[in-house]
Structure 1
Amino acid sequence: MSSCLLVTCLLSAIAATGYSLTCITCTSLTDIICEGPSVTCSSGDDSCLLSYIVTSMGGMEISKMYIRQCGKSNLCSKTGSISLPNGRMKAGTTCCRTNDCTPDKPVLPPDSHEKNGLACKTCFAPNANSCDSDLLTDCVGNETVCINQITTRTGDVPSTTAVRGCSSKEMCEPSRQVWNLGKITVNVENTCGNNGIYLQPNLLLPILSLWLFWKSLC
């Protein structure tokens, strides 16, 4: 009887405290998935995340990064891209839900050079919390929204960077992300919308014809 009572008390204690997931946390600046220490996740985190981020400038890859951390399931199986001045950032995230598991390697979206009719303001401002520009970039592929992204990094070398450009919708959600990378915390805030110049592809030819007709009258 006393043994049954003890087991009941233990089960009640476990149920009261809830189950805490543990995940590997690490960062790698290579194309090899990193390994690191196991940490106990916060109560709101239900998944172990693996993110892969590749940044290109002038058509050449300049950085690759793997990030493993605790997170929420709404970030799972997401891929997307952001086009910046003369560059592009592609990202993918996968997840798993058991202790210290290793998610599948994220698959990044393919490159596209097909314009979709949207043009967004584009700028890049290091050491600033905002940027604006009259420069427009033509959006391609599934980058169907304009994004304004502010990244704040705290730690040994704090910094804030603002960028604007074309983006796929997947990069906009959630609007705020916090990455805890050891001694560094990265806070990313996204604001997205179709606030660029958008021309439906089937309207481009009539508008061009109208412009040529108007020029012939002048």
Structure 2
Amino acid sequence: MSLTSSSCSGSSVTCPPGYVCASVHGESWNAWTTNPSVVRTCAHSSACNYKGSLSMQYGKARSATSCCSTDHCTPSIPSYPRQDSTPNGVTCRSCMSADSTWCYTSDTIQCTGDENMCLLQTAQMTGSMSLSSALRGCATKSYCDLGRQSQTIQGTTISSNYICTSDGISVHEVLLTPAVVCLLLLKVFF
């Protein structure tokens, strides 16, 4: 696993039946920097040829998976999903937490291209490293279909959960939620 490069090396492992050698390549970027990453591991054959992307208020990420099924093979570098900046009419909340599995905000982002789902992604890293994070933003359906994932690599377990809604934030929710909260507070205090 490398969180700073598009290549990595490590010892060979024997994959369970139905599993193949897989490389998950990722790329995240914001206005200041681009960060490549790669994880090489055994994966179920159904995880091969995956592509997905997500956007938040201050950054974007995309990932793709490639596989091979012979002993000690190295999967090819997969192609990422294409970038499309055309608005699709969906609006999602957008936030990020680097020390918790929860974030909530009134900040929103206009979704573009195939990113037509609102995503809450949580992740916990335990073992030789410890980390919790959460993010909200727009995502492709393929990201949402990941559901709950857990992987142990080199003594570190990474557990991720992808929760999505397809309806975005309606104008009523953005405008009426603060109004309802104000009315409740008025009832409590007066």
TM-score by length of 2: 0.83
Could you tell me which runs of 5 or more consecutive residues in structure 2 were left unpaired when the two chains were aligned. 172-190
| 2:4 pairs with one of 29, 52, 66 | 29
How much does 1:122 deviate? 0.8
Of 78, 88, 103, 1:116 maps to 88
How many residue pairs align between the two structures? Answer: 171
SS in 1 for 2:142: helix
* Alpha-carbon displacement from aligned partner over 1:7-42 (angstroms, at most 9, x marks no partner): xxxxxxxxxxxxxxxxxxx436213x3222101123
Matched to 2:106, the amino acid is: D
**Aligned position for 1:15:** none
Pairing 1:39–2:36 present: no
- Does the Cα contact within 8 Å between 1:69 and 1:180 map onto a contact in 2? no
- CA deviation vs aligned residue, 1:144-189 (integer Å, no higher than 9, x gap): 1111100100123311101010000111222011222202111111
**What TM-score comes out, normalization by structure 1 length?**
0.73
State the partner residue of 1:10: none
Distance 2:37 2:75 in 1: 15
Contact 1:143 1:166 in 2 (8 A): yes
Paired residues of 1:27 and 1:181 also in contact (CA < 8 A): no
How many percent identity over aligned positions? 28
- 1:156-195 matches, within 5 Å, as 156-195=128-167
- In the alignment, the residues of structure 2 paired with residue 133 and residue 36 of structure 1 have an alpha-carbon distance, to the nearest angstrom, of 40
User: Bigger radius of gyration, 1 or 2?
Assistant: 1
Deviation at residue 70 of structure 1 after TM alignment = 0.5
Residue 79 (1) aligns with residue 51 (2): yes
Query: Secondary structure at the residue paired with 1:39?
Result: coil
Query: What RMSD, in angstroms, separates the aligned Cα atoms of the two structures?
Result: 1.7
CA contact 2:90–2:167 (8 Å) conserved in 1: no
Partner of residue 57, structure 1: 30
Residue in 1 that maps onto 2:113: 141
Alpha-carbon distance in structure 1 between the residues aligned to 2:101 and 2:10: 32
Residues 104-124 of structure 1: per-residue CA shift (max 9 Å, x gap): 211111222111110101110
Show the counterpart of 1:152: 124
**1:31-85 Cα deviation digits (max 9, x unpaired):** 3x32221011234x51111011111012x44311111000111211011111012
Task: Compare the two structures and name the one with the higher helix fraction.
Answer: 1
In the alignment, the residues of structure 1 paired with residue 104 and residue 134 of structure 2 have an alpha-carbon distance, to the nearest angstrom, of 9
Note the residue ranges of structure 1 that are not aligned, 5 or more in a row. 1-25, 200-218
Mapped to 2, the partners of 1:181 and 1:61 lie a distance apart of: 26
Contact 1:82–1:167 (8 Å) recurs in 2 = yes
Distance 1:144 1:95, change over 3 A: same
The answer for the alignment partner of 1:206 in structure 2 is none
